[in-house]
Every structure is written in C-alpha cells, then in structure tokens.
Structure 1
Amino acid sequence: MSNLKKLVVFLLALVIIIPATAFGYMYYKLSTIHEGDSDSEKIVSSSDYKSEKGIHNILLVGVDTTDKEQVSRSDAMMILTIDSNSKSLKLTSLARDTYVNIKGRGKEKLTHAYAYGGISLLLQTVEENFELDIQDYVVVNFNSFMSVLDVIGGIEVDVSASELEELRYFTIETYYLGKYDKKGPIDYVESPGTQTLNAYQALAYARIRKNDTAFDRDERQRKILQATLNKLTSLPFTKYNSLIDGVLPHIKTNMKPGAILKTGSTVLGIGDFDIKQLEFPILEYSEQGIYEDAGWVVRFDEDKCIPILHDFIFKNKMYTP
C-alpha cells in the first residue's frame, strides 16, 4: 500500500459535512467510530511535551490492511494541525522508515511501533521522539479513500505519458482491492493529459513509485489530496449520507462525537483548505541507508530537525532549505 496522504481527506470529509447534517443523526453515526482505549487515552491526556493553546494536533494513521481491526504496520503517519491562532491547516508527514526509539524494542523504524503495540505505542513513540503533545488520533484503512472517491465521482488529474505504464500495472491491483459499490468492469487510463480518475485509478496513481523519485511520488499524492478536498467542499447535500456510510466503517478514533463536531466547527471557521505541508525528518539534516540490523532507515539530527518541526506547527513558520 502506498504512503498516500489520504488521511486528511477522511477527517476533513467528516468535519466539512457535519455542520450541514442533522445533529442527532450525526452524533449517532460518529459514536460508531469511537473506541474506549484506556491506554491511549492515558497517553494523550498525560503528556508533558510541547503544546500550545489554539493548536490542535491529531495523529492520522493509515494501515496496510482492509480490516481496521487487524494488526499491521502503519503505512502512513501524519500530524494534522488545526491552528486556530494563525487560521491555517497544516500537515506533517512522518517518514515510515524514520529511525526512532520504541519503548521496549530499542531503535527501530517508526512504522513498526503500531505493529508492536497498536495506536498506544505509536502515540507514545511519536510524542517521545518528536517532543510533541498529541491530543487525538484517527486510524483508517485504504478502503476509506476509495469509498470517498466513489461517492464524489472521481477527481481530475494530469497524467503524464511516462506514468501510464505503471499506472496500468497498479490499476489491476487496486481494482480487485476495492470493495465499494458500482465498480463495473476494469477501466484503464490509455492516454496522457487531464483525466477523470475513478476510485481505484486514483489509488493506483498514488502508488506509482518506480517511474521517477520519491519526491515526485509525494507530489502525486498531494495532487490527489488537494483535488479530493476541492471536490468535497462542493459536494451536493444529497450525497452526504452516502459519504458518511462509506467512510465511517473504515475509521476508528479516540475522539468522541461531541469533540468531532467541535473540530468540524473550528475547521469551517478557518475556511482555508489549502493545507501547508512539511516532510519530516528534514532531508537536509537526515541520512538514508541501510544501518546495522534495522534495514533501510532515515536517521535524523534531532537538534536541527525538531526545532524546525515545532516552528512549523506552533509558530506557522514554513521551512526553506
């Protein structure tokens, strides 16, 4: 599964549509994704790490499984920052191969924390290694992404000629993974240019990785994210319930219905869905390669990288190499 920056779509899909839907109905629906995990609740409520009034950090986790209850590695990890002070939304992508200390396991890849101890251990690992207070989390699986795109009718993406071959390869894979309704016969993108990608085609596009560089892959994922958010903001009222029913079964969170409703109100108050982004660790202060028994990892200079991360989240400072 790709390191798709899809998680923001799921959370913002909820907070965008909530205010336009009956409160009682939404409260009932949202209660189905809340999990009473006492260990994770203890972690998010007792942190002594960096926090600031008006800054709400949510850990978004994508798992490489079709079942949200299965144990697996976390494929995508991001920190969504809802900044009421600067009226902005920010997204920090955490490299899955980041070399960190995992309690009880020593130094390993960040992605292993979820497999070892679920969301509780991953939360603890992120807080301790990056010195951040994370209040909430949302865990999703990839079917959420395809469910969203199925409801909104796909997205427009400019596909280059060099991407077509690998796009076709991954289209076969994602077609059979998709479990949403009205999938129809498999359909391939045959020519370059601006295309309307359906749910499984968009996921396939995000998985392209051998065509060019990791940075180009990230750019493709950002294109999909922004296109999806743009379309969600103009989603007809008649499709709200279908979106909710398609997404919620693939999500779990420690946020209670009332907290999600409040978050939705805050996001709508910000109004700007042009998300500011940061890749962490900072490439300039990191080393990538095979290290000891850990395999391929990203080691980073804590004294350089963590202040940049904190400035981005809490001071709204964009990093420029």
Structure 2
Amino acid sequence: MSIGSMMGPGGPGGGPDQDEEPARKRRGLRALLVGLIALLVLVLLAAAGIVLVTQHLGSQVGRYPSVFAPIDPSSRPADAAGQTFLLMGTDTRSPEATTGTDAAPDAVFGSTRSDVIMVATIAEDGQSASIISIPRDSWVDVPGRGKNKINAAYAFGGPPLLIETVEQLSRVHIDHFAVIDFAGFAQMTDSVGGIDVNVGQETERDGVVVPAGPQHLNGEQALVYVRERKSLPGGDLDRVRRQQAALRAFVQKTLSSGTLSSPTTAYAAVDSVTRHVGVDDSLSNTGLAQLAFGMRDLRNSAISFLTVPVTGTGDEGGQSVVYLDDGAGRDLWFAVNTDAVPQWVAARPQEQLSATPR
C-alpha cells in the first residue's frame, strides 16, 4: 500500500477532517441564522397578535364624544403628574346595559343621576394609585345651577357638567371620564368568577340575601351589596364604603389571583370590562394599551381607597344631603395633585377603607 493511500485522499494529517471543519461551521452558522429568523418571525407574529387583540378589545369600549369640549379651558385646574379618571356609575335600574358597546342603540347617557362618583388617580411612576369616593348626596356648587346634590350634575348636563363640578370642588384636573351601569357591574363580577367581600351587615333585596361575614358574591349578590343604604346606619356613607369594598375585591381578584396568569380567563375578564365600560373619546386604543402597560407593576396593596372628608349629614329642601369638610378635603386633594396620597394615608390610617365596612 502506498503512503498516499494510507494518508487518504485528503493528503497528510487526515484531510477529510480539515476539509469538513469549515463546512460544518458554515452549516452551523446557516442553522443559527435560520433559527434566529424563525424566532424573529414568531416574535413579530406574537406582537401582531397582541396588537390585534388590543385593537379588538379597545374597539369594544364605548366612546363618549366631546365630554371636555363644553368646559371653558380657563376654568380648569392645571394638569398634574399621573393620570386621573372620573369614574361614574349610573343609578338606572335597567337589567339591560345602558353603557359601553353592549348598550341599547337608544340608550341616552346623562339621562339619569349618577350613583357612584370616584376620582381615581394613578401616580406618574405607576407604582401607586388612589380611589376617592364622593358621596352622591354631597351638597356642592354645581356650575350654573347653584347648590345641589353632586349627582344632579350628571342629570343636568351629562359628563361635561359633572366633570366641571368635580374639578371645581377638588381643583384636580380630570384627564379622562369612564362610566358603567349596574348591569355591566354584575356581568364584570361574574366574568372573574365572583368577588370575595367581608360583609359587615346582612342585606336582603328582592329575595336575594347577602349574609354577614366573609362571602363569595356573584354578580347578582354583588349588586344587592353595593346598592343597599336604607338599612345601614351610615346611609349613603356606608353604601360608598361598600362600593369601594366591591371595587377593591374586583381589583384584588384580577391582580392577585390566577385571573391574569391564565390567557383564557384574562381575556374573558378584559372582554367583559371593555364591553360594559364607556370612556371619553380622547382615550384611544393605544392610550388604553399604554395605560395598562404603565400599571403592570401596580399591586393591590398600593391602592388607597378613601372617601372625601365629611362633617356630617343634614336636610336641604326636604332632601337628605352630605356636607363635605372643605378644609380636610383641600389637604386630600392637594395630596392627589402632588402624588403624595400614600403619605397622606400614612398620617391618617383611619381614613383608609376598613377590612369590614358595613
């Protein structure tokens, strides 16, 4: 046998290994590039899916046109840090939706008085938030209408007059407006599998009983819980606390349980919310997505649930009213404007919503 044949066709040193090494590297590089391209395509497809879902869900949100347009810009408070929403619930007793895209075509917003009025503010860093209730019977100045209950502003002039009234009262700039009705609240509650509330006092309405103590409430029971006031010692003030407790439970269910970790459950919950909530038309789908992304690190424990300070109740022209504490209220609203609500609450822990409101 010749030396050449012993060395093989590649020559000295085992040529096949030397010739194939660059080829293997090239094949490995091509595989890596193909893998990276495939991964990039998958990421883009996933991103496109998220955008499509966001657009779909965002498009389900009812939009109320020009709610800020009638308000004189010179009369409005200066814009502050963070995002502030005026949240409102209507007191219609209709079992059919009257807000959001599920509302009947002939539903007219502003035709009823507001039942729930809350100012929700998300801090600029997205790490904390506050929800401050204004009792619907609060005796306030309604621009152009004189003294009246604050819930009358919505009936007199729809969202613009209610926004103007709240801004005049608080000197807090309202960035956005959102509204939901009782039917929407019940269906939202059911969409997350119900809420857990520690009920301070048993309540019964139309044959539906909500016992005292820790309870898991479905949508129908939750409505009975948040609508009651006549049997409660604090009347409207106790009902406000119940409304906050229900909202706190809803937020806790979505943020602290497996609701958002399950794509199917999360979609169902967001789908229900977007179909039953109406917002001002300045809040675009992109704005909704950015808002949600900015709140990704928010924890339930970082949300303060408060009621605007009051001095007591009374009677005005034969109607029961709630009198607000102007001095203490100014301190609270100043804290809202300066992103200092956590510090305000730390100095006044008794003002925070209790674990067991009546």
TM-score bucket of the superposed structures, by smaller chain: 0.7 to 0.9
| Residue pair 2:172, 2:333 contacting (<8 A) in 1 also | no
Is it true that 1:56 corresponds to 2:83 in the alignment?
Answer: yes
**What residue in structure 2 maps to residue 238 of structure 1?**
264
Change (3 A) 1:78 1:28: same
Match of residue 295 from structure 2: 267
The structure whose Rg is larger is 2
Match of 1:290 in 2: 315
Equivalence map 1:1-321=2 (5 Å): 22-35=50-63, 37-41=65-69, 43=71, 48-53=76-81, 55-65=82-92, 66=94, 67-68=98-99, 69-70=107-108, 71-85=111-125, 87-159=127-199, 163=202, 166-167=203-204, 169-170=205-206, 172=208, 193-209=213-229, 210-214=231-235, 216-233=238-255, 234-235=258-259, 236-254=262-280, 255-280=283-308, 282-283=309-310, 286-291=311-316, 293=317, 295-314=319-338, 315-316=340-341, 317-318=344-345, 320=348
Taking the aligned partners of 1:82 and 1:44, their CA distance within structure 2 comes to 25
By relative contact order (CA 8 Å, sep 6+), the higher-ranking structure is 1
Aligned-pair distance for 1:41?
Answer: 4.4
Q: Residue 47 of structure 1: CA displacement?
A: 5.8
1:178 corresponds to which residue? none
Contact 1:89 1:272 in 2 (8 A): no
Q: Partner letter of residue 216 of structure 2?
A: T
Write the distance in 2 (CA, Å) between the matches of 1:43 and 1:104: 12
C-alpha RMSD of matched pairs (Å): 2.9
- CA displacement, residues 79-115 of structure 1 (integer Å, 9 cap, x when unaligned): 1100124821101101111222222211111100101
TM-score, normalization by structure 1 = 0.75
Per-residue deviation, 1:49 = 0.9
> What is the alpha-carbon distance in structure 1 between the residues aligned to residue 265 and residue 196 of structure 2?
19
Q: 1:170 to 1:204 in 2, by over 3 A?
A: farther
How many residue pairs align between the two structures? 277
d(CA) in 2 for partners of 1:211 and 1:128? Answer: 30
Please give the secondary structure, in 2, of the residue aligned with 1:72: coil
SS at match of 2:246: helix
The SS at the match of 1:92 is strand
Tell me the percent identity. 27
Structure 2 gap ranges (5+) = 1-46, 100-106, 351-358
Note if contact 2:115-2:136 (Cα within 8 Å) is conserved in structure 1: yes
Q: How far has the Cα of 1:44 moved from its partner?
A: 9.4
How many angstroms apart in 2 are the aligned matches of 1:107 and 1:192?
38
- Residue ranges of structure 1 left out of the alignment (5+ in a row): 1-18, 173-187
What secondary structure does 2:186 align onto?
helix
Secondary structure at 1:22 match in 2: helix
| SS of aligned partner of 1:58 | strand
Amino acid of the residue matched to residue 33 of structure 1?
V
Q: Report the 3-state secondary structure (helix = DSSP H, G, I; strand = E; otherwise coil) of the residue aligned with 2:61.
A: coil
